[in-house]
């Protein structure tokens, strides 16, 4: 990591240097704006698409925005623990929230296409298992980042190891999730459900590929962060700020942005509408026999 402890000089108190460089204020503010815009867009789109399950992603976007504000703030004093703690905790804890939304998205796509039989895991169980694991990752990284606020060298070292363990665990969970998503994709392609057969214009594949892009961005980000926390503090990955913006900020913005362009809520909404139209157009078996002139009895709201 990039933290250096200094003993006090001339009887002065000890102090901590949190960065081996002066964080860029312009880059920090640029990503505050980027994450702010994308987060607002996702918040707005939740309503027409009835996608309340995107709320964790919105919270994650807020965390990213304030996290990069912390990096911009650190430009003025890289020994200030307040600005460092703000960016460390929020930037580390935002990805699990975004991942939780991605886990829920796949379950809703499976149910919208009535394709539970094509999934390796039942949608309800899939969402429950992966979101619970994501909560564990979130708590692990939040706790590991939180204890580093103490400024104590030993406790901060323990916190670093906890964060590293959380990153490795989240990376493994992501690999399993992507394997399940790819398996479902292939089965649905080979055996389209009745909804897809009757509505070939749904273009579900592009939404699945957007999901893969979001997953790949998160996985690469977690891998690079794992390398960062395991590397020596003098390694390039810890001494050059560009790695944070290329392999964390950009990848997280890409993960959120691709789901604005191809919002899964729109696909789910179209699939549900197709089902309703099919049910409305389906001939009723209880239709009266026109030749006999009989009229069926209709209940009038009796309880």
pLDDT, tens digit, 9 for 90 and up, residues 167-186: 888 888 888 999 999 999 99
pLDDT band at residue 252 using 50, 70 and 90 as cut-offs: very high
User: Are 196 and 188 in contact, with CB atoms under 8 Å apart?
Assistant: yes
Is the pTM value of this prediction over 0.85?
no
- Across 108-116, average pLDDT: 91
Torsions phi, psi of 232, nearest 5? Answer: -70, 150
Q: Is the pLDDT of residue 290 over 50?
A: no
Within 8 A by CB and 6+ apart from 67, the residues are 86, 87, 89, 90, 91, 94
Report d(CA 43, CA 40) in Å as an integer: 5
Torsion sign, CA atoms 153, 158, 159, 161: positive
Write the pLDDT tens digit of every residue in 144-161. 766 666 656 677 677 777
Q: What is the pLDDT of residue 44?
A: 97
pLDDT band at residue 13 using 50, 70 and 90 as cut-offs: low
Q: Which of the residue ranges 81-85, 106-110, 162-166, 250-254 would you say has the lowest mean pLDDT?
A: 162-166
Q: Which of the residue ranges 20-29, 44-53, 56-65, 85-94 would you say has the lowest mean pLDDT?
A: 85-94
Q: What is the pLDDT of residue 171?
A: 86
| pLDDT averaged over every residue in the chain | 83
pLDDT band at residue 108 using 50, 70 and 90 as cut-offs: very high
pLDDT band at residue 295 using 50, 70 and 90 as cut-offs: very low
Question: For residues 211 and 9, which has the higher predicted lDDT (pLDDT)?
Answer: 211
Torsions phi, psi of 187, nearest 5? Answer: -65, -40
Q: Report CA-CA distances (Å) from 299 to 35, 155, 246, 286, 303.
A: 54, 70, 65, 14, 10
Torsions phi, psi of 78, nearest 5? Answer: -80, 5
Query: What is the maximum span of the chain, computed from C-alpha positions, in angstroms?
Result: 108
Q: Is the pLDDT of residue 247 over 50?
A: yes
pLDDT band at residue 207 using 50, 70 and 90 as cut-offs: very high
Q: Report CA-CA distances (Å) from 123 to 105, 182, 214, 237.
A: 10, 15, 20, 39
């Amino acid at each position: 990591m990039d933290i250096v402890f200094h003993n006090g000089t001339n009887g002065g108190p000890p102090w901590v240097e949190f960065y081996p460089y002066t964080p860029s204020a312009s880059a920090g503010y640029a990503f505050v704006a980027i994450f702010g815009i994308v987060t607002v867009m996702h918040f707005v789109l939740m309503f027409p698409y009835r996608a309340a399950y995107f709320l964790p992603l919105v919270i994650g976007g807020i965390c990213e925005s304030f996290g990069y504000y912390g990096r911009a703030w650190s430009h003025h004093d890289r020994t200030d623990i307040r600005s460092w703690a703000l960016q460390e905790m929020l930037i580390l804890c935002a990805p699990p929230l975004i991942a939780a939304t991605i886990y829920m998205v796949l379950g809703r796509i499976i149910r919208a296409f009535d394709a539970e039989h094509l999934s390796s895991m039942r949608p309800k169980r899939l969402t429950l298992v992966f979101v619970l694991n994501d909560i564990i990752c979130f708590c692990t990284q939040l706790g590991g980042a939180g204890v580093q606020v103490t400024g104590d060298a030993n406790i901060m070292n323990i916190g670093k190891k906890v964060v590293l363990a959380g990153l490795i665990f989240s990376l493994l969970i992501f690999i399993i999730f992507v394997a399940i998503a790819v398996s479902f994709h292939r089965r649905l392609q080979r055996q389209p459900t009745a909804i897809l057969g009757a509505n070939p214009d749904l273009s579900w594949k592009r939404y699945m590929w957007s999901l893969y892009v979001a997953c790949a961005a998160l996985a690469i980000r977690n891998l690079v962060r794992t390398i960062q926390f395991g590397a020596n503090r003098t390694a390039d990955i810890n001494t050059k700020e560009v790695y944070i913006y290329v392999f964390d900020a950009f990848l997280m913005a890409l993960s959120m942005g691709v789901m604005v362009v191809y919002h899964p809520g729109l696909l789910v909404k179209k699939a549900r509408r197709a089902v309703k139209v099919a049910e409305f157009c389906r001939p009723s078996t209880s239709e009266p026999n026109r030749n006999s002139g009989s009229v069926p009895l209709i209940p009038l709201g009796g309880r």
